[in-house]
Chain A
Amino acid sequence: MRALLVCWFTAACAAAPEPTRLEDCAAIEDAVARGDCQLKFTTPLLEDPKALDAALALVPEGVERDALIARLAVTDPRRGARLCKAMTTPEGQQKCQQVLGRPHLGAPRKTKP
């Protein structure tokens, strides 16, 4: 029985397939890993606003999506800060207002990137 359980446990951990697209992230149970997965697939889209908007529409509205938006805005404030208005939760909106939505953060950089 012990051997069987260990075998089952190991298999369960190893069996999760590597996500290949944003939609696959939803199947990840661990919230941090799920968030990182979402970020991995959306960060490259920061240069393509339409594609990014379409991708974000695949993530259900709520704290998890707002956190993803906030992470994108921190990663690239010039491109990501516009997404602030898409936040729907009070904590997301507050974060945007206080920190991410400051207009100079969206201005082109004169010095280092």
Chain B
Amino acid sequence: MSRAALLLMALGGCGAESPVDPAGDGLRAGGSLASCAEVAFAELAIPCRVGVAAEAGKAGDIALAEEACALVPDGLWREECHFRAGEELGKAGYTDRALRFCARAGDFARNCVTHAAWGLPPEPGLSPADPSRALAALDEQLNIYTAGLNGAAPGVQGEGVDILLSRAWFNLYVGSGSADPAAARGAEGEHGPHARTAWALEFVRLANLPPDQAVEAALAVWRGESPVPTGAALPPGPKVGRHTSPIVAEGVRAQRHAATFGGGVRLVGESVEEDLTVAVIEALFFNEGTLPPAFVAYQDDPRLTVRLTAWKLWGLTAPPEAVLAAITAATDPLIAETLRLAEGKNMQGPKAGRRRDAR
């Protein structure tokens, strides 16, 4: 060995050659699995690969998303990888593939399905004006959802299908410019509550009535006693409104609930007309212009689902001091608990809940 070579070796340092800026390279790495493989710190290669899976999901590249997630260690980060890929695939409209990723998202499966579902674009060519086609398409969607979530953790499949159906019906009606109830009237089984939720949203938007007239007017249109309101369709793009995460009092946990916009839930009425009433009150809440007194009229309704829905929505929108006073004054423990839960997400107070997530 020459003297120069020995000197070079000594100056070059000991052991294997190290990258000059492994920290910066690790933080900046992304865009391809090859780039992630170059990362010197194993921990930083993980978010790099998760990022690649998400980008692959956006592009509908299942193979790359699978490959990226397979390189992420099993456990929390593998689940997160499936979550990221699943939600992006959902947003890009690859529902069945999205759900297969969500089903493997472990603890994050519900979040994944919610994100994927509420990012789902509308099915092209479907309209409430063609109810038989819409019903057939939504039935097919139900099969896709059920199959896609096969093998998910216990409870995820049922809840996931509920969330997805809610979105599918939302996409059919909301912003369509048609409150023709024919498709919703034809919705059976699992479809029913979601069809009524979505129809009520579009009815309230198009009818644009004072809130105290909305329920009766909706029932009249549903029964075919009044003409169907029509109006301008909303431009393509996210359709947003006031919403909240689930509020479910312990005493009504066993009662049937249906998923609503953005990850919330609503009570399902015992009969179609009771359920429509609940759906219309919920639709009034979705419309941000509706003030708390609109819900007061239903607080003494003899039907439990209607009554509790009205208290919940009032508790979310009334001034926090008034809600706290009502909690103290409530003699029905179920109403008191509902109000307590709603107060925690009150939209006027400092703990204001989520209101307008773009979806």
Q: Which residues of A contact B (CB under 8 A)?
A: 1-2, 5-6, 8-9, 12-13, 29-33, 35-36, 39, 63-64, 66-68, 70-71, 74-75, 77, 89, 91-92, 94-95, 98-100, 102, 104-105, 107, 109-113
- Shortest Cβ gap from B229 to chain A (Å): 40
A6: chain B residues within 8 A (beta carbon): 6
- Partner among A74, A89, A111, A112 whose Cβ is within 8 Å of the Cβ of B47: A74
Q: Are B15 and A13 in contact (CB under 8 A)?
A: yes
Q: Which residues in window 24-68 of B have CB below 8 A to A?
A: 24, 26-28, 40-41, 43-44, 46-47, 50-51
- Could you pull out 19 A-B pairs where Cβ atoms are within 8 angstroms? A2-B3, A2-B6, A5-B7, A6-B6, A9-B9, A29-B13, A33-B18, A63-B21, A64-B23, A66-B23, A74-B46, A74-B77, A77-B76, A91-B24, A94-B27, A95-B47, A102-B80, A105-B76, A105-B80
Q: Are B40 and A70 in contact (CB under 8 A)?
A: no
A8: chain B residues within 8 A (beta carbon): 10
With A71-B41, A92-B27, A98-B51 known as contacts, the answer to whether A113 contacts B10 (CB < 8 A) is: no
- Partner among B1, B3, B107 whose Cβ is within 8 Å of the Cβ of A109: B107
B232: chain A residues within 8 A (beta carbon): none
Q: Which 3 interchain pairs have the tightest Cβ spacing? A: A67-B23, A13-B14, A99-B47
B153: chain A residues within 8 A (beta carbon): 111
Closest to B7 in A: A5
Q: Main SS of the interface on chain A?
A: helix
A67: chain B residues within 8 A (beta carbon): 22-24, 26-27, 41, 44
- Shortest Cβ gap from B27 to chain A (Å): 4
| Complex CA–CA separation, A75 to B45 (angstroms) | 12
A105: chain B residues within 8 A (beta carbon): 76, 80
Q: Main SS of the interface on chain B?
A: helix
Is B124 in contact with chain A by the CB < 8 A criterion? no
What 16 additional pairs, Cβ within 8 angstroms, besides A9-B6, A98-B47? A2-B1, A2-B3, A5-B3, A8-B10, A12-B14, A31-B20, A35-B41, A67-B22, A67-B41, A67-B44, A70-B43, A74-B43, A95-B47, A99-B47, A100-B47, A107-B107
Q: Are B27 and A71 in contact (CB under 8 A)?
A: no
B3: chain A residues within 8 A (beta carbon): 1-2, 5
B76: chain A residues within 8 A (beta carbon): 77, 105, 109, 113
| Complex CA–CA separation, A4 to B249 (angstroms) | 81
- Shortest Cβ gap from B121 to chain A (Å): 23
| Complex CA–CA separation, A39 to B24 (angstroms) | 16
Q: Are B44 and A74 in contact (CB under 8 A)?
A: yes
Q: Are A9 and B43 in contact (CB under 8 A)?
A: no
Chain B, interface size category, equals 35 or more
Closest to B73 in A: A74
Is B263 in contact with chain A by the CB < 8 A criterion? no
Closest to A33 in B: B18
| Complex CA–CA separation, A89 to B26 (angstroms) | 13
| Complex CA–CA separation, A71 to B75 (angstroms) | 16
With A2-B3, A35-B41, A99-B47 known as contacts, the answer to whether A30 contacts B24 (CB < 8 A) is: no
With A1-B3, A95-B47 known as contacts, the answer to whether A9 contacts B10 (CB < 8 A) is: yes
| Complex CA–CA separation, A100 to B10 (angstroms) | 40
- Shortest Cβ gap from B115 to chain A (Å): 10
- Shortest Cβ gap from A99 to chain B (Å): 4
Q: Are B27 and A63 in contact (CB under 8 A)?
A: yes
Q: Are B75 and A113 in contact (CB under 8 A)?
A: yes
Most chain A CB inside 10 Å of its own CB: which residue of B28, B43, B44, B46: B43
Q: Are B13 and A35 in contact (CB under 8 A)?
A: no
| Complex CA–CA separation, A2 to B9 (angstroms) | 13
Closest to A105 in B: B80
| Complex CA–CA separation, A56 to B26 (angstroms) | 19
B21: chain A residues within 8 A (beta carbon): 31, 63
- Shortest Cβ gap from A53 to chain B (Å): 20
| Complex CA–CA separation, A33 to B14 (angstroms) | 12
Q: Which residues in window 101-154 of B have CB below 8 A to A?
A: 106-108, 111, 153
Is B19 in contact with chain A by the CB < 8 A criterion? yes
B77: chain A residues within 8 A (beta carbon): 74
- Partner among A13, A31, A102, A112 whose Cβ is within 8 Å of the Cβ of B23: A31
- Shortest Cβ gap from B215 to chain A (Å): 37
B18: chain A residues within 8 A (beta carbon): 30-33
